[in-house]
Amino acid sequence: MNQAQTACKACGRTEFVKGRLNNGYARVMPINKAFSFGSGVIYTFCKRCGEIASMKIENPEKF
């Protein structure tokens, strides 16, 4: 996501920040791998209103 050219769909602002859920259960798990720990998800969201602009798998190689 190119943050410099992206405007928030909800409020029109262009300042975004990144964060992730800090919870052991907030992970994306592979469907066919029973013993995988999965990966966290990184969120890019509007600093003003909190609208989520993108979600990205932190470690896609685990899939």
Mean pLDDT by 10 residues, the chain (63 residues): 76 96 80 85 96 94 86
CA-based nearest residue to 48, from 12, 18, 21: 12
Number of domains in the chain: 1
Give the global pTM.
0.77
Find out whether 27 and 36 touch, Cβ atoms under 8 Å.
no
CB neighbourhood size of 44 (10 A): 16
CA–CA–CA angle 59, 24, 55 (5° rounding): 45
Q: What is the pLDDT of residue 29?
A: 86
Q: Which domain covers residue 20, as residue numbers?
A: 3-62
pLDDT at 2: 57
User: Distance between CA 23 and CA 16 in Å, rounded?
Assistant: 22
